[in-house]
Amino acid sequence: MNLDKIIIFCDGASKGNPGRGGWGAVVVTSAEVVELGGSESNTTNNRMELQAAISALSAIKEKNSDVFIYTDSKYVVNGITEWVYSWEKRNWITAKKEAVLNKDLWEDLLDLVKSRGEIEWELLSGHVGIVGNERVDKIASLFAEGKMSDLWSGPLKDYEIDILDIKHDEHKKALKKSSKKKNNFKAYSYVSLVKGIVKTHKTWDLCEKRVKGVSGAKFQKVASKEKEKELIFLWKK
Protein backbone atom coordinates (compact mmCIF):
# COMPACT_ATOMS: atom_id res chain seq x y z
CA MET A 1 0.00 0.00 0.00
CA ASN A 2 1.42 3.39 -1.05
CA LEU A 3 1.83 5.74 1.90
CA ASP A 4 2.63 8.63 -0.41
CA LYS A 5 -1.17 8.75 -0.39
CA ILE A 6 -3.54 9.12 2.52
CA ILE A 7 -5.40 5.85 3.15
CA ILE A 8 -9.02 5.72 4.29
CA PHE A 9 -11.19 2.80 5.37
CA CYS A 10 -14.86 3.62 5.90
CA ASP A 11 -18.12 1.82 6.65
CA GLY A 12 -21.69 2.38 7.77
CA ALA A 13 -24.30 0.37 9.65
CA SER A 14 -27.92 0.65 10.72
CA LYS A 15 -30.06 -1.37 13.11
CA GLY A 16 -33.22 -1.31 11.05
CA ASN A 17 -33.31 0.37 7.67
CA PRO A 18 -34.34 3.01 8.63
CA GLY A 19 -33.27 2.78 12.23
CA ARG A 20 -30.47 3.82 14.55
CA GLY A 21 -27.26 4.04 12.55
CA GLY A 22 -23.55 4.46 12.94
CA TRP A 23 -20.52 5.12 10.79
CA GLY A 24 -16.81 4.49 11.19
CA ALA A 25 -13.63 5.52 9.43
CA VAL A 26 -9.88 5.16 9.80
CA VAL A 27 -7.59 7.77 8.22
CA VAL A 28 -3.96 6.69 7.77
CA THR A 29 -1.00 8.89 6.84
CA SER A 30 2.70 8.07 6.90
CA ALA A 31 2.88 9.45 10.43
CA GLU A 32 -0.42 8.81 12.19
CA VAL A 33 -3.74 7.01 12.39
CA VAL A 34 -7.01 8.70 13.30
CA GLU A 35 -10.22 6.77 13.95
CA LEU A 36 -13.55 8.53 13.48
CA GLY A 37 -17.13 7.57 14.23
CA GLY A 38 -20.61 8.85 14.88
CA SER A 39 -24.28 7.95 15.01
CA GLU A 40 -27.77 9.10 14.04
CA SER A 41 -31.04 8.08 15.66
CA ASN A 42 -33.11 7.52 12.50
CA THR A 43 -31.21 6.82 9.30
CA THR A 44 -30.34 4.18 6.70
CA ASN A 45 -27.32 2.05 5.96
CA ASN A 46 -26.64 3.94 2.71
CA ARG A 47 -26.67 7.30 4.47
CA MET A 48 -24.20 6.00 7.04
CA GLU A 49 -21.91 4.65 4.30
CA LEU A 50 -21.92 8.10 2.68
CA GLN A 51 -21.42 9.91 5.99
CA ALA A 52 -18.36 7.78 6.77
CA ALA A 53 -16.68 8.81 3.51
CA ILE A 54 -17.68 12.47 3.92
CA SER A 55 -16.40 12.67 7.50
CA ALA A 56 -13.11 10.97 6.65
CA LEU A 57 -12.40 13.27 3.70
CA SER A 58 -13.43 16.31 5.75
CA ALA A 59 -10.89 15.37 8.43
CA ILE A 60 -7.94 15.56 6.02
CA LYS A 61 -6.13 18.87 6.45
CA GLU A 62 -3.85 18.52 3.42
CA LYS A 63 -6.20 19.64 0.63
CA ASN A 64 -3.89 18.65 -2.23
CA SER A 65 -2.97 15.19 -0.95
CA ASP A 66 -3.88 12.15 -3.02
CA VAL A 67 -6.26 9.79 -1.26
CA PHE A 68 -7.03 6.07 -1.54
CA ILE A 69 -10.41 5.05 -0.08
CA TYR A 70 -11.43 1.49 0.78
CA THR A 71 -15.13 0.69 1.30
CA ASP A 72 -17.37 -2.37 0.96
CA SER A 73 -20.29 -0.23 -0.30
CA LYS A 74 -21.11 -0.66 -4.01
CA TYR A 75 -23.60 2.16 -3.55
CA VAL A 76 -20.85 4.61 -2.60
CA VAL A 77 -18.28 3.46 -5.15
CA ASN A 78 -20.67 3.28 -8.11
CA GLY A 79 -22.37 6.49 -7.06
CA ILE A 80 -19.28 8.66 -6.75
CA THR A 81 -17.41 7.23 -9.75
CA GLU A 82 -20.32 6.91 -12.20
CA TRP A 83 -23.85 7.97 -11.27
CA VAL A 84 -23.30 11.28 -9.47
CA TYR A 85 -22.11 13.23 -12.51
CA SER A 86 -25.19 12.29 -14.52
CA TRP A 87 -27.41 13.13 -11.56
CA GLU A 88 -25.80 16.55 -11.27
CA LYS A 89 -26.31 17.28 -14.98
CA ARG A 90 -29.99 16.31 -14.67
CA ASN A 91 -30.44 18.54 -11.60
CA TRP A 92 -30.42 15.53 -9.26
CA ILE A 93 -33.00 13.49 -11.12
CA THR A 94 -32.35 9.82 -11.96
CA ALA A 95 -32.68 8.24 -15.40
CA LYS A 96 -36.08 6.97 -14.21
CA LYS A 97 -37.19 10.60 -13.62
CA GLU A 98 -37.14 10.21 -9.85
CA ALA A 99 -35.50 12.43 -7.24
CA VAL A 100 -32.06 11.16 -6.19
CA LEU A 101 -32.13 9.66 -2.71
CA ASN A 102 -29.70 11.15 -0.19
CA LYS A 103 -29.10 14.17 -2.43
CA ASP A 104 -27.77 16.24 0.49
CA LEU A 105 -25.00 13.75 1.23
CA TRP A 106 -24.15 13.14 -2.41
CA GLU A 107 -23.72 16.91 -2.89
CA ASP A 108 -21.44 17.09 0.15
CA LEU A 109 -19.34 14.17 -1.05
CA LEU A 110 -19.08 15.52 -4.59
CA ASP A 111 -17.96 18.93 -3.32
CA LEU A 112 -15.21 17.26 -1.28
CA VAL A 113 -14.06 15.16 -4.24
CA LYS A 114 -13.89 18.21 -6.50
CA SER A 115 -11.90 20.23 -3.95
CA ARG A 116 -9.11 17.71 -3.41
CA GLY A 117 -6.27 15.99 -5.21
CA GLU A 118 -6.65 12.61 -6.88
CA ILE A 119 -9.01 10.22 -5.08
CA GLU A 120 -9.07 6.50 -5.89
CA TRP A 121 -11.94 4.30 -4.71
CA GLU A 122 -11.48 0.59 -4.04
CA LEU A 123 -14.46 -1.72 -3.46
CA LEU A 124 -13.65 -4.38 -0.87
CA SER A 125 -15.50 -7.57 -0.07
CA GLY A 126 -16.87 -7.08 3.43
CA HIS A 127 -16.56 -9.53 6.33
CA VAL A 128 -13.66 -11.52 4.89
CA GLY A 129 -11.06 -10.57 7.49
CA ILE A 130 -9.48 -7.47 5.92
CA VAL A 131 -8.30 -5.75 9.09
CA GLY A 132 -9.09 -2.16 8.13
CA ASN A 133 -12.56 -3.10 6.92
CA GLU A 134 -13.20 -5.15 10.05
CA ARG A 135 -12.16 -2.23 12.26
CA VAL A 136 -14.44 0.36 10.64
CA ASP A 137 -17.30 -2.16 10.61
CA LYS A 138 -16.85 -2.60 14.36
CA ILE A 139 -16.77 1.16 14.96
CA ALA A 140 -19.91 1.70 12.87
CA SER A 141 -21.75 -1.15 14.59
CA LEU A 142 -20.84 0.05 18.09
CA PHE A 143 -22.13 3.53 17.35
CA ALA A 144 -25.30 2.09 15.77
CA GLU A 145 -25.88 0.09 18.95
CA GLY A 146 -25.43 3.18 21.10
CA LYS A 147 -22.15 1.93 22.55
CA MET A 148 -19.41 4.54 22.40
CA SER A 149 -16.25 3.12 20.89
CA ASP A 150 -12.80 4.13 22.13
CA LEU A 151 -11.33 5.83 19.08
CA TRP A 152 -7.60 5.90 18.43
CA SER A 153 -5.60 8.93 17.44
CA GLY A 154 -1.84 8.67 17.45
CA PRO A 155 1.35 7.56 15.71
CA LEU A 156 1.03 4.87 13.06
CA LYS A 157 3.90 2.93 14.65
CA ASP A 158 1.92 2.61 17.90
CA TYR A 159 -1.36 1.50 16.32
CA GLU A 160 -2.08 -2.07 17.44
CA ILE A 161 -3.93 -3.03 14.24
CA ASP A 162 -1.90 -3.88 11.13
CA ILE A 163 -3.99 -1.44 9.14
CA LEU A 164 -1.80 -1.63 6.02
CA ASP A 165 -2.43 -5.35 5.58
CA ILE A 166 -5.30 -5.70 3.09
CA LYS A 167 -5.13 -9.48 2.70
CA HIS A 168 -8.42 -11.28 3.32
CA ASP A 169 -8.91 -14.30 5.57
CA GLU A 170 -9.36 -17.33 3.29
CA HIS A 171 -11.55 -19.15 5.81
CA LYS A 172 -13.91 -16.19 6.26
CA LYS A 173 -14.06 -15.68 2.49
CA ALA A 174 -14.96 -19.35 1.99
CA LEU A 175 -17.67 -19.17 4.66
CA LYS A 176 -19.17 -16.07 3.05
CA LYS A 177 -19.15 -17.70 -0.39
CA SER A 178 -20.77 -20.85 1.05
CA SER A 179 -23.45 -18.77 2.78
CA LYS A 180 -24.31 -17.03 -0.48
CA LYS A 181 -24.65 -20.38 -2.26
CA LYS A 182 -26.99 -21.69 0.43
CA ASN A 183 -29.28 -18.71 -0.04
CA ASN A 184 -29.14 -18.81 -3.84
CA PHE A 185 -32.22 -20.97 -4.39
CA LYS A 186 -35.68 -20.42 -5.82
CA ALA A 187 -38.05 -19.27 -3.10
CA TYR A 188 -41.20 -21.21 -2.33
CA SER A 189 -42.15 -18.37 0.00
CA TYR A 190 -40.83 -15.79 2.45
CA VAL A 191 -41.74 -16.06 6.13
CA SER A 192 -41.80 -13.07 8.48
CA LEU A 193 -42.20 -12.64 12.21
CA VAL A 194 -43.31 -9.22 13.44
CA LYS A 195 -44.37 -8.59 17.05
CA GLY A 196 -45.04 -12.29 17.63
CA ILE A 197 -47.19 -12.75 14.51
CA VAL A 198 -45.95 -15.03 11.70
CA LYS A 199 -47.00 -14.46 8.09
CA THR A 200 -45.99 -15.96 4.74
CA HIS A 201 -45.44 -14.05 1.51
CA LYS A 202 -45.09 -15.21 -2.08
CA THR A 203 -42.70 -12.40 -3.03
CA TRP A 204 -39.77 -10.68 -1.34
CA ASP A 205 -41.35 -7.25 -1.98
CA LEU A 206 -44.35 -8.14 0.19
CA CYS A 207 -42.15 -9.57 2.93
CA GLU A 208 -39.82 -6.54 2.85
CA LYS A 209 -42.74 -4.11 3.24
CA ARG A 210 -43.77 -5.91 6.44
CA VAL A 211 -40.35 -6.11 8.10
CA LYS A 212 -38.55 -2.99 6.86
CA GLY A 213 -37.73 -0.64 9.69
CA VAL A 214 -39.45 -2.80 12.34
CA SER A 215 -37.26 -3.42 15.39
CA GLY A 216 -36.88 -7.12 16.21
CA ALA A 217 -38.50 -8.32 12.98
CA LYS A 218 -37.31 -11.63 11.52
CA PHE A 219 -37.61 -12.99 8.00
CA GLN A 220 -36.34 -15.94 6.00
CA LYS A 221 -36.61 -17.37 2.50
CA VAL A 222 -37.70 -21.03 2.34
CA ALA A 223 -37.43 -23.56 -0.48
CA SER A 224 -40.51 -25.74 0.07
CA LYS A 225 -43.89 -26.03 1.79
CA GLU A 226 -42.34 -28.42 4.31
CA LYS A 227 -39.61 -25.90 5.21
CA GLU A 228 -42.25 -23.20 5.47
CA LYS A 229 -44.31 -25.27 7.95
CA GLU A 230 -41.17 -26.12 9.94
CA LEU A 231 -40.13 -22.48 10.24
CA ILE A 232 -43.64 -21.33 11.20
CA PHE A 233 -43.73 -24.00 13.92
CA LEU A 234 -40.34 -22.90 15.29
CA TRP A 235 -41.25 -19.20 15.32
CA LYS A 236 -44.62 -19.79 16.97
CA LYS A 237 -43.12 -21.75 19.86
Which run of H or E residues covers position 111?
helix 103-114
Q: Looking at residue 173, what is its pLDDT?
A: 47
Candidate list 72, 79, 108, 132, residue with the active-site label: 72
The verdict on whether 127 is a catalytic residue reads: yes
The verdict on whether 12 is a catalytic residue reads: yes
Candidate list 49, 79, 132, 134, residue with the active-site label: 49
The verdict on whether 137 is a catalytic residue reads: yes
Query: Which domains, and CATH codes, for the chain?
Result: 6-169 (3.30.420.10), 189-236 (no CATH)
Q: Looking at residue 181, what is its pLDDT?
A: 46
Q: Looking at residue 237, what is its pLDDT?
A: 65
C-alpha neighbours within 13 Å on the C-beta side of residue 216: 6
Q: Looking at residue 139, what is its pLDDT?
A: 96
Q: Looking at residue 176, what is its pLDDT?
A: 45
Model confidence pLDDT, tens digit, residues 166-224: 775 444 444 444 444 455 678 899 999 988 899 999 998 899 889 877 777 888 898 88
Q: CB of 141 within 8 A of CB of 22?
A: yes
188, β-bridge pairs: none
Candidate list 38, 107, 126, 127, residue with the active-site label: 127
C-alpha neighbours within 13 Å on the C-beta side of residue 20: 12
Candidate list 35, 108, 134, 137, residue with the active-site label: 137
Residue of 69, 4, 66 whose CA lies nearest to 31: 4
Q: CB of 30 within 8 A of CB of 82?
A: no
The model's pTM is 0.72
